[in-house]
Structure 1
């Protein structure tokens, strides 16, 4: 079993799946601030990809009694990963993947863009659009807001979001992508974080960004409703992008076949983890250490025994499909990726486009200043991150990217 490090000087125990010496001091201070919350249940769990975040640390798993902190979810509500194993092998891929990348970029809007026409597929999510009017009035009261939200369904976004074509160790071709709830999730999160800061029970907090809603209050009910909607939107966004991705690839790879992605629940399809779709910024009602609690995973995946998840690396490095081992100590959780080891600003100062070209050799992707802050060296060593959590997950498949689309 991997030894768990305990962070000294904390009000509640903080159990870490990495050495505190490997974590920046600001993130350690932030974790101690989280542990001061009077609602923390038992301990705070910290994943090996931990790094500083807004309000709550990325890579933190926090179980709260009768309370929830919107900052402990993050502003990209429901952000997560999806992956499909196809029937193709490396031998089926063309030597030049440039036209394939161009087709994917044409099919899936990146950056701040959305679709110019709302597809029949998106209009089919009637259950989602039918409850849009129940969301925060500052969202629903804006003219044309539902049209903009619908247009962003099936779009990637920017930052560390990506679409990849990967090969596993047996040369099977995988489709993988990373995205969340787009601007609607960000807007809802920011509105609720601002509302929580104004509540009188949060006035004594050292960091008001950690402000919480309390169970049984209208503020909590409103946040939970908006949160659930945004988490559903994020999962549908990934499902929609996968469908668009497959359609784009079939023009170049006509023999492509994929399994049907699971539309509900955390587990993979019956065909041996051929389809996985998992959140890593979200809230779940769970039972841990004798109590019913609200668990926030900000940069962490659920890893119950037998549950499949995805832990990506970075452009030019490996990613992993994993199977949960059900660790009680981690609140049945695992890391969500490699985790940044430096800020975007520092990465742009320290590296050049020549460095980016060298570090993404063999990957068909952008190699320009616009994605320099996503250079692999800006991230932690994914293999070390996986090694630190050998008691949390088993590796089911190891993937390497041959094509990557960034926002």
Structure 2
């Protein structure tokens, strides 16, 4: 084989190798050491191209003087890699509105030997491992990336016996309430409220969780960035036949969307790495590595995941508590539900299964939930119908049609401001990547899943706060 001339200027990092698809562990270390040792005349781009070819066809480099050891390390023995199986059938809701990347990811998930069933919700779009909007049932195994990075991300709503006209009459007061009682992104409260969650034994018994307690305390009651929000709006209960014992009609309401903050992200990162080291899968399935629940790591992750979910709930309760104090009113009722979580449930024969809902709402028979739209379109209070083909699930929102990058490239502040003005929405914070037009039509999404949920009421946002200080104003 022709020898290759390299150059010291062709600096390659571990991040570069991960982006190429190099597996975590000793292979990345070997590649970096090799690049440091070899003196060459290749450019960085040429070196990356070579490393990509080496990853794709390592056997072709077994006779290469400098690269043979790395090639041997990349050739996984049959015993090292678990094989995928024949794809199991699964149900897709709203297939025509789901991009091909999400469908492909779901198809791979349905080939795992631990997979028992699956479903793809109408708001689905690509993610890491399981697509967002993907639901997957497994046997005695949990997939960290099947849960997602923001463990226990959830919706929470409180309804008040207050005139909805106040949202117009005292708009500035409501804006101040949000600005004074919510924090987003890296911002936290100077005096966080304490919570019983910090007495949990997991903070003492699980090493990764123990080191996260101080940060979790500082962040409690705050919300993440991205599509997380706290907003005032108007609920319209469609019928008195509801679980809240409330008459049909309009109610002033608070709706929040956020997750387990830095603690959940750190737990996800740690156990994903553990899973990928223990469960070697083909390249297209590597982010679906799982942990056996009978293993020490699997049992630890399950406890940490549930802690993160309860922490997310505690964050929401503090958000709503602060706003209730500001409103000087007691909520009539609270409605909430997780997504980005895994549950132990029973299949039709009574056997226990693990159901992952990554960006999907639990919709078992009689289970209540909230499916938001965009900041300028309605959300829905729903009651699950318990549809077996959907694994008792529904969408967790409208779903994106524009990536964050594409939104920033194609939208402008004036257009978004006009859209919000027409919808009667006041926005505090956010950016172009969360503009209403980056999301699917929520009415169409709901139409795709009418067999999955009954609609009890709607929620229309009026004053919305999200991460960031950007304002959308009409400018000449």
Judge same fold: TM > 0.5, yes or no. Answer: yes
Q: Note the C-alpha offset of 1:68.
A: 1.2
Instruction: Render the CA deviation track for 1:247-267: whole Å, top value 9, x for unaligned.
Output: 2333xxxxx3313xxxxxxxx
- Equivalent residue number for residue 3 of structure 1: none
Matches within 5 A, 1:142-181: 145-169=212-236, 170-181=249-260
Provide the C-alpha distance between the structure 2 equivalents of 1:320 and 1:123, rounded to a whole number of angstroms. Answer: 30
Provide the C-alpha distance between the structure 1 equivalents of 2:293 and 2:461, rounded to a whole number of angstroms. Answer: 44
After the TM superposition, list the runs of 4 or more consecutive aligned residues in structure 1 that deviate by more than 3 angstroms: 123-128
Q: Which structure shows the higher helix fraction?
A: 2
- Equivalent residue number for residue 241 of structure 2: none
Provide the C-alpha distance between the structure 2 equivalents of 1:197 and 1:127, rounded to a whole number of angstroms. Answer: 31
Match of 2:178 among 104, 126, 133: 104
Does residue 311 (structure 1) correspond to residue 371 (structure 2)? The answer is yes
Provide the C-alpha distance between the structure 2 equivalents of 1:203 and 1:33, rounded to a whole number of angstroms. Answer: 11
Instruction: Render the CA deviation track for 1:51-94: whole Å, top value 9, x for unaligned.
Output: 11111101111000121110010000000100111101223334
Q: Note the C-alpha offset of 1:138.
A: 4.0
Matches within 5 A, 1:289-328: 289-290=348-349, 291-328=351-388
Provide the C-alpha distance between the structure 1 equivalents of 2:161 and 2:330, rounded to a whole number of angstroms. Answer: 6
Matches within 5 A, 1:54-69: 54-69=128-143
Does residue 241 (structure 1) correspond to residue 319 (structure 2)? The answer is yes
- Equivalent residue number for residue 146 of structure 2: 72
Q: Note the C-alpha offset of 1:165.
A: 0.9
CA contact (8 A) 1:303 1:332 kept: yes
In the alignment, structure 2 segments of 5+ residues that lack a partner are 1-85, 237-248, 468-476
CA contact (8 A) 1:205 1:211 kept: no
Does residue 187 (structure 1) correspond to residue 263 (structure 2)? The answer is no
Count residues with an aligned counterpart. 368
- Equivalent residue number for residue 344 of structure 2: 285
- Equivalent residue number for residue 264 of structure 1: none
Does residue 140 (structure 1) correspond to residue 210 (structure 2)? The answer is yes
TM (normalized to structure 1)?
0.86
Q: Give the alignment's Cα RMSD to 1 decimal.
A: 1.8
- Equivalent residue number for residue 29 of structure 1: 104
Provide the C-alpha distance between the structure 2 equivalents of 1:127 and 1:146, rounded to a whole number of angstroms. Answer: 10
Provide the C-alpha distance between the structure 2 equivalents of 1:73 and 1:123, rounded to a whole number of angstroms. Answer: 25
TM (normalized to structure 2)?
0.74
SS, match of residue 88 in structure 1: coil
Provide the C-alpha distance between the structure 2 equivalents of 1:344 and 1:248, rounded to a whole number of angstroms. Answer: 34
Matches within 5 A, 1:342-361: 342-361=402-421
Provide the C-alpha distance between the structure 1 equivalents of 2:325 and 2:410, rounded to a whole number of angstroms. Answer: 39
User: In the superposition, relative to structure 1, how do residues 146 and 126 fare at CA in structure 2: closer, same or farther (>3 Å)?
Assistant: closer
Deviates more, 1:22-31 or 1:305-314: 22-31
- Equivalent residue number for residue 7 of structure 2: none
Q: Note the C-alpha offset of 1:377.
A: 0.6
Matches within 5 A, 1:213-224: 213-224=291-302
Provide the C-alpha distance between the structure 2 equivalents of 1:138 and 1:392, rounded to a whole number of angstroms. Answer: 38
- Equivalent residue number for residue 257 of structure 1: 330
User: In the superposition, relative to structure 1, how do residues 149 and 356 fare at CA in structure 2: closer, same or farther (>3 Å)?
Assistant: same
Instruction: Render the CA deviation track for 1:176-211: whole Å, top value 9, x for unaligned.
Output: 110110010001001100111101x42446321110
CA contact (8 A) 2:192 2:221 kept: no
Provide the C-alpha distance between the structure 2 equivalents of 1:330 and 1:69, rounded to a whole number of angstroms. Answer: 19
User: In the superposition, relative to structure 1, how do residues 85 and 35 fare at CA in structure 2: closer, same or farther (>3 Å)?
Assistant: same
- Equivalent residue number for residue 13 of structure 1: 89
CA contact (8 A) 1:110 1:406 kept: yes
User: In the superposition, relative to structure 1, how do residues 140 and 127 fare at CA in structure 2: closer, same or farther (>3 Å)?
Assistant: closer
Q: Note the C-alpha offset of 1:124.
A: 4.2
Match of 2:277 among 198, 222, 225: 198
Q: Note the C-alpha offset of 1:222.
A: 1.3
Computing the radius of gyration from Cα coordinates, the structure with the larger value is 2
Q: Which structure shows the higher strand fraction?
A: 1
Provide the C-alpha distance between the structure 1 equivalents of 2:268 and 2:136, rounded to a whole number of angstroms. Answer: 17
SS, match of residue 220 in structure 1: helix
CA contact (8 A) 1:75 1:186 kept: yes
